């Protein structure tokens, strides 16, 4: 995925060596903020532009809240993994919950019959819109979403 | 990191101004909705939400704001967002909210934009 | 370790169910701050007193910087785990580096010949002083420290 | 979370006041030492370090401050810490720094405490 040519360094840091941060989050309100903090720390280290980081923040937030909200009450842990270079971010978010069939998932209408935006059903749309690659693998043993985002 | 959610509010020129601080998730969204409802019941029809200190919002939090937009639209009122972080602005854009709500750089701008309304 | 009696709840939260946060930190300057953020999030959730959290912050910081500084340059990852109840915190910090023998480790004098505090050699002393249990297991496959701290 | 480290400094009544912001680790400690050395070379002998915005420090960062204490002690000067977070205060206590350095609640208090010195 990464380009083979060595990259310029940002202030002496080797920005072409991927850094990986892995977190297993417990079901605690707002715990996704800890993952966001990790994301922002890596991004600052690699000198990523603020707009890219802001978009990644939305993706990560939506992925984690979906995992806790939809995987079932037995899910006590959601695993998150960021792999980042100056060029690209890969995000994994995994739960071991009830799963769903992304193909038959009825993408809810994004407007109601009155023409207003729907209240819910925005997570998938936001993640897709703000990323460059979006894959779901889901089954009885849980759901993993893998998202890639270009950062340069 | 985002602070635990809090808000302050003020009514100026019959406009409700809600200023948030921290993560607008389900908890933050519900707090905003409650504050809104209290003033809506008393007849306020134009609302400004200043999100300067809420750099992180999620779609569950936003669902409460969509509900507010619905109520205001039905009542001939309007919601205006101010001081948006660029990522929050982008999110509201993707969700199509700007067809039904305004956005202005500052609260003063929002008051001016709402001034022509009754 | 935990008392068998069910604990009072703090604002409706079940404070006697342990919550666990696991993080695998990459070698990025200041990355321990992300672990501290996780620690503080759990602590806020469980209503832990500020002084206990502050002491835990020092322990965690020293353990992580030691793991990166002393385990050898090949260590690319340090694993951190917090398990917290309203009463007790357990901290694991693990590297897969060169290891050391804690028994023969010369605890450096904490004052110099001139009577001044030593510049370095404070990490172990700080971790021991601020915790209620402190264990090191170290060998060729790395070092794990396990620290317990009472929080109530 | 702690910000990336930064500092400001000011000389008042021939006392160097260094105000830090963010994590005092190796980077922060080195920046403080450098700022100190510049003024020490110019003859400043009493130093106040205001750590109000540094809630997190580590022992590597502190090693730079111990070096400053050594130099000041040799030169008949003094270092005073102000606005310490309770956990930082505890750490400096365990490290025995208060036998060689002062601590005061505020920078004004520190200036008063240093006033009797030349
Ligand atoms: N991790 C998950 N586990 C199970 N189902 C999921 C998961 N993520 C998403 N879903 C399903 O996809 C639907 C759409 O998700 P989303 O677009 O985020 O909207 P919303 O969360 O508002 O329902 C959810 O309602 C749920 O049925
Ligand atoms: N994770 C580790 N791997 C290898 N050696 C370690 C580790 N942690 C501590 N040590 C050894 O213990 C010594 C004392 O550590 P510490 O008290 O923190 O002081 P300092 O880090 O200033 O040397 C270190 O110098 C090192 O030799």
Residue C12 has pLDDT above 80, yes or no: no
Number of H helices and E strands in chain A, helices first, is 3, 5
Q: Across the interface, which of D56, D62, D85 has its CB nearest the CB of C33?
A: D56
Per-residue confidence (pLDDT) for residue A4, from 0 to 100: 44
| Mean predicted confidence (pLDDT) in A97-123 | 83
Higher-pLDDT residue of A24 and D3 is A24
Q: Which sign does the torsion angle of CA B101, B107, B113, B115 carry?
A: positive
Cβ C94 vs Cβ C78: under 8 Å: yes
Kindly report the average pLDDT of chain D as a whole number.
96
pLDDT for position A112: 81
Q: Which fold has domain B6-117?
A: Transcription Regulator spoIIAA (3.30.750)
Residue B83 CB contacts under 8 Å (≥ 6 apart), including other chains: B50, B51, B52, B105, B106, B107
Task: Provide, as residue numbers in chain A, all residues whose Cβ is less than 8 Å from the Cβ of C38.
Answer: 23, 34
- Read off the DSSP letter of residue A27: S
Residue D52: φ, ψ to 5°: -55, -40
Whether the CB of A140 is below 8 Å from some CB of chain B: the reply is: no
- Distance from the Cα of A99 to chain C's closest Cα (Å) equals 23
Q: Tell me, yes or no, if A29 comes closer than 8 A to chain B by beta carbon.
A: yes
In the predicted model, what is the mean pLDDT of residues C59-63? 98
Mean per-residue pLDDT for A30-49? 97
Nearest CB among A22, A29, A34 relative to C38 is that of A34
Task: Tell whether the model's pLDDT for residue C109 goes beyond 90.
Answer: no
Two tokens, residue C59: 């322990």
- The whole-number pLDDT of residue B1 equals 59
pLDDT of residue C13 exceeding 90: no
C111 or C152, higher pLDDT? C152
Task: Pick C55's closest partner by Cβ from D60, D90, D99.
Answer: D90
**Percentage with pLDDT > 90 across chain A:** 78
Instruction: Give the pLDDT score at C143.
Output: 98
Over residues B83-111, the mean pLDDT reads: 97
Task: Please determine, for residue A113, whether its predicted confidence score (pLDDT) is greater than 50.
Answer: yes
Q: Could you say which of A21, A28, A41 has the minimum Cβ distance to residue C41?
A: A28
* Cβ atoms of residues C46 and C13 within 8 Å: yes
Is the predicted pLDDT of residue A8 greater than 90, yes or no?
Answer: no
CB contact under 8 A, C130 and D2: no
Q: Which chains touch B (3 or more CB pairs under 8 A)?
A: A
Res C6: pLDDT? 45
Q: Which residues from chain C sit within 8 angstroms of residue D97, using beta carbons?
A: 117
Residue B87's region, left for phi above 0, alpha for psi from -120 to 50, else beta, is: alpha
| Lowest mean pLDDT segment, chosen from A112-121, B52-61, C115-124 | A112-121
Domains of chain A: 18-150 (3.30.565.10)
Query: Cα–chain-centroid distance for residue C88?
Result: 13
Find out whether the beta carbon of C108 lies less than 6 Å from any atom of ligand 2: no
Find out whether the beta carbon of A71 lies less than 6 Å from any atom of ligand 1.
yes
B109 pLDDT above the threshold of 80: yes
Cβ(A70) – ligand 1 distance below 6 Å: yes
Kindly give the distance from the C-alpha atom of residue C62 to the centroid of ligand 2, in angstroms, as a whole number.
Answer: 10
The mean pLDDT value of chain C amounts to 90
Contact list, C125 vs chain D (CB under 8 Å)? 94-95
Q: Which residues of chain D have pLDDT under 50?
A: none
Sequence spans of domains, chain B: 6-117
Interface predicted TM-score (ipTM) of this complex, two decimals: 0.94
Give residue A66 CA to ligand 1 midpoint distance, Å: 6
Query: Are A28 and C22 inside 8 Å of each other by CB?
Result: no
The pLDDT of A91-113, averaged and rounded, is: 84
Ligand at minimal distance from the CA of A64 is: 1
Nearest CA to ligand 2 atom 8: C66
The pLDDT, as a whole number, for residue C2 is 45
Cβ separation D56–C36 shorter than 8 A: yes
Q: Provide the H-helix boundaries in C71-114.
A: none
Is residue A120 lining ligand 1, measured as CB closer than 6 Å?
yes
Residue B118 predicted with pLDDT over 90: no
Mean pLDDT across A29-39? 97
- Burial (0-12, 13-18, 19+ Cβ within 10 Å), A62: buried
Span A55-73, average pLDDT: 97
pLDDT at residue C104 in the model: 75
Q: What is the pLDDT of residue B116?
A: 84
pLDDT of residue A3 exceeding 70: no
Residue A49 at interface with chain C, using a CB cutoff of 8 Å: no
Q: Residues 61..100 of C with a Cβ closer than 8 Å to D: which?
A: 61-62, 65, 69
Residue pair B68/B39 in contact (Cβ under 8 Å)? The answer is: no
Two tokens, residue C17 = 């169910």
- Do B1 and A37 make contact, defined as CB atoms within 8 angstroms? yes
For residue C14, the model assigns a pLDDT of 59
Interchain proximity A30–C41, CB inside 8 Å: yes
Residue C113 has pLDDT above 90, yes or no: no
Q: What's residue C1's pLDDT? A: 44
Neighbour-count burial for D84-97, b at 16+ CB within 10 Å, e otherwise: bbebbebbbebbbb
C41 with A19: Cβ contact below 8 A: no
Average pLDDT over residues A8-17: 60
C136 pocket-lining for ligand 2 (C-beta < 6 Å): no
Mean pLDDT of the B87-108 span = 97
Inter-residue contact B56 to A57 (CB < 8 Å):
yes
Give A13 or B5, the one with higher predicted confidence.
Answer: B5
Of A94, A100, A106, A108, which is best to mutate to test ligand 1, by the most ligand atoms within 8 angstroms of its C-beta? A100
C122: pLDDT strictly greater than 90: yes
Per-residue pLDDT, C11 = 54
Distance CA B105, CA B80 (A): 10
In a mutational test of the C interface, the residue from A17, A25, A26, A83 whose CB has the highest number of chain C CBs within 10 Å is: A26
Query: What pLDDT, in 10s, does the model give residues C25-51?
Result: 999 999 999 999 999 999 999 999 999
Q: Specify the ligand 2 atom closest to the Cα of C120.
A: 22
What is the nearest CA distance from B98 to chain A, expressed in angstroms? 10
For ligand 1, whether the C-beta of A124 sits within 6 Å is yes
- Tell me, what's the pLDDT at A114? 79
- Predicted pLDDT at A81: 98
Structure tokens at B71: 């109520």
Distances (CA, A) of D45 to D37, D38, D42: 11, 12, 9
Cβ separation of D59 and C123 shorter than 8 Å? yes
């Amino acid at each position: 995925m990464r380009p083979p040519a060595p990259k310029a360094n940002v202030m002496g840091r080797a920005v072409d060596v991927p850094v990986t941060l892995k977190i297993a989050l417990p079901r605690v309100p707002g715990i996704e903020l800890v993952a966001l903090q990790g994301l922002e720390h890596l991004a600052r280290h690699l000198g990523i532009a603020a707009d890219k980081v802001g978009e990644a923040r939305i993706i990560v937030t939506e992925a984690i809240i979906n995992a806790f909200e939809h995987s079932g009450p037995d899910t006590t842990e959601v695993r998150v993994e960021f792999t980042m270079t100056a060029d690209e971010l890969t995000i994994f978010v995994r739960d071991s919950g009830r799963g769903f069939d992304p193909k038959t998932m009825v993408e809810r209408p994004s407007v109601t019959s009155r023409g207003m935006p729907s209240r819910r059903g925005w997570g998938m749309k936001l993640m897709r819109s703000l990323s460059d690659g979006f894959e779901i693998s889901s089954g009885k043993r849980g759901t993993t979403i893998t998202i890639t985002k270009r950062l340069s | 990191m985002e602070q635990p959610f809090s808000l302050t509010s003020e009514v100026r020129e019959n406009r409700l101004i809600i200023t948030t601080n921290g993560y607008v998730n389900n908890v933050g969204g519900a707090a905003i909705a409650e504050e809104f409802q209290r003033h809506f019941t008393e007849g306020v029809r134009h609302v400004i939400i200043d999100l300067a200190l809420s750099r992180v919002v999620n779609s569950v939090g936003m669902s409460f704001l969509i509900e507010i937009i619905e109520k205001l639209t039905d009542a001939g009122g309007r919601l205006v967002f101010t001081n948006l972080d660029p990522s929050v602005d982008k999110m509201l854009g993707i969700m199509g909210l700007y067809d039904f709500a305004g956005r202005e750089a500052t609260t003063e701008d929002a008051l001016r934009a709402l001034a022509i309304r009754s």
